[in-house]
Amino acid sequence: MSQIPEYWTQQVEAAKHAYTLAYAPYSQFHVGAAALTESGKVVNGCNVENASYGLTVCAERNCIANAVIQGEQNIKSIVVYTEQVKLTPPCGACRQVIAEFLSQEAEVMSTNHLGDYQLWSVAELLPDAFTPKSLLDI
């Protein structure tokens, strides 16, 4: 695989840091995420598991929630980092939340500790997404 493009470096490092903070005592599947906002801020998040498994929140959703808490609702791109050999794309719930805050053309990256990576557009991850534009009054 080729080296991660330099313009992703800050996001990848923030996602790696978030990975170290993940709370995953049940699955041992740690995930970090980092988003680049329209204003140039990089925010991150990690997965947080719960003994009531359905209440677990993924890194991507925590990352986006962190951005919103910081007053950032327009996100340009997001990185998902794991230490799995096989690259990990966002789950279905995360894809829907990503589609809410990123444009259909925005890039989503999955990367790992080996430096492997894959890029998708939001539209590739969730074609024909239900977005705010889908609501009748907007």
Q: Is 83 annotated as catalytic?
A: no
Give this prediction's pTM: 0.94
pLDDT tens for residues 7-35? 899 999 999 999 999 999 999 999 999 99
Structural domains of the chain ordered from first start: 6-134 (3.40.140.10)
Please, what is the average pLDDT of the chain?
95
Contact indicator for 24, 30 with CB cutoff of 8 Å? yes
Residue 24: CB atoms within 10 A of its CB come to 16
Amino acid at 47: N
Q: Point out the catalytic residue in the list 13, 49, 60, 105.
A: 60
